Structure 1
Amino acid sequence: MYKKILLPIDLNHDGSWIKALPTALQLCRDYGASLHIVTVIPDFGLPLVGGFFPREYTEKAEQAVSQRLKEFVLEKIPQEVQVQRIVTDGKTYEAILRVAKQLKVDLIVMASHKRKRAEDYILGTNATRVVQQSKRSVMVVR
């Protein structure tokens, strides 16, 4: 049923993977699927803001995040699970949707985060937007 599973994580927030990762791993084992772990480096939004950072900042940030993701995979993912690490940038939900489309994943497994704002109470902002806009199946893990 599932051949490619996408797991978005935030390396600075354990809540983004602590429950979603075991679920994704079990689905990979059950279906013989590959796991594609994506982490997103936020963009600066306005060029004015980006102008305060040196040009090499984004490249250095990407290298640092890539190394942290590599360490995460070595520590948390069993060797029998085929895994791909992806570091990308942009708005989190847009990057997740873009990667899901590019990889033609069958399923996105992600955590929900409760927020203080009323409209984000049920799901976190990014999870809500991914669920609403994705053309792929999405499993939200609480």
Structure 2
Amino acid sequence: MYRKVIFPVDLTHIDQLTRALQTAIDLALHYKAEICFVGVSGTAPSALARTPQEYESKLAGFADEQGKAHGLKSSAKACISHDPSIDTDKTLLAAIAELGGDLVVMQTHTPQALDYIWAGHGDTIAVHSKASVFLVR
């Protein structure tokens, strides 16, 4: 049913993505689908990586580690944005379409008052993506 599971990942908060990550892995294993870890980073140095190339290498390493640990086909796509704080949704939507993802699994949070004014990343992806979207709290 699903061929490619897309898992947007923020490597700086990987410890907060445990439930969603396990859900994505379980679904990829169940459907014998590839899982692609997509990350969005800026061009400026950060605590995680000094350069876009270093970020791409860390994301690829994470994807490889997950694939080997769980016995599934994995890949990574690092998307570099000039301003991730405003471009993340647009960048993720473009990556999902480019990669041909048919299922997106994302971590989300309990809705708060501000979410009724500005949609979260998961909400925006669910509304605008052609892929099915599974939001995990």
TM-score range, shorter chain: 0.7 to 0.9
Of 53, 59, 63, the residue aligned with 1:63 is 53
* 8 A contact 1:5–1:28 mirrored in 2: yes
* 8 A contact 1:15–1:111 mirrored in 2: no
- What does residue 73 of structure 2 align with? 82
Shift in Å, 1:132 = 1.5
- What does residue 126 of structure 1 align with? 121
Shift in Å, 1:133 = 1.1
Secondary structure of the 1:105 match is: coil
1:140 aligned onto 2:131: no
1:97 aligned onto 2:93: yes
Secondary structure of the 1:39 match is: strand
CA RMSD of aligned residues (A): 2.7
Moved more, 69-78 or 16-25: 69-78
CA displacement, residues 64-118 of structure 1 (integer Å, 9 cap, x when unaligned): 2112213323443326211111100231111111111111111000000347x61
Take 1:137 and 1:114, find their aligned partners in 2: how far apart are those partners?
20
Secondary structure of the 2:11 match is: coil
TM-score (ref. length: structure 1): 0.76
Take 1:127 and 1:61, find their aligned partners in 2: how far apart are those partners?
27
Shift in Å, 1:22 = 0.7
Take 2:16 and 2:54, find their aligned partners in 1: how far apart are those partners?
19
Take 1:124 and 1:112, find their aligned partners in 2: how far apart are those partners?
11
Moved more, 14-23 or 1-10: 14-23
Give unpaired runs (5+ residues) of structure 2: 82-86
1:25 aligned onto 2:25: yes
Q: Percent identity?
A: 29
* 8 A contact 1:2–1:33 mirrored in 2: yes
Take 2:59 and 2:89, find their aligned partners in 1: how far apart are those partners?
19
Q: Return the letter of the residue paired with 1:83.
A: S
* 8 A contact 2:101–2:131 mirrored in 1: yes
* 8 A contact 1:10–1:16 mirrored in 2: no
Take 1:61 and 1:141, find their aligned partners in 2: how far apart are those partners?
31
Take 2:99 and 2:63, find their aligned partners in 1: how far apart are those partners?
19
Take 1:111 and 1:120, find their aligned partners in 2: how far apart are those partners?
15
- What does residue 7 of structure 2 align with? 7
Count of aligned pairs: 128
* 8 A contact 2:64–2:75 mirrored in 1: no
Give unpaired runs (5+ residues) of structure 1: 44-52
The structure that has the greater radius of gyration is 1
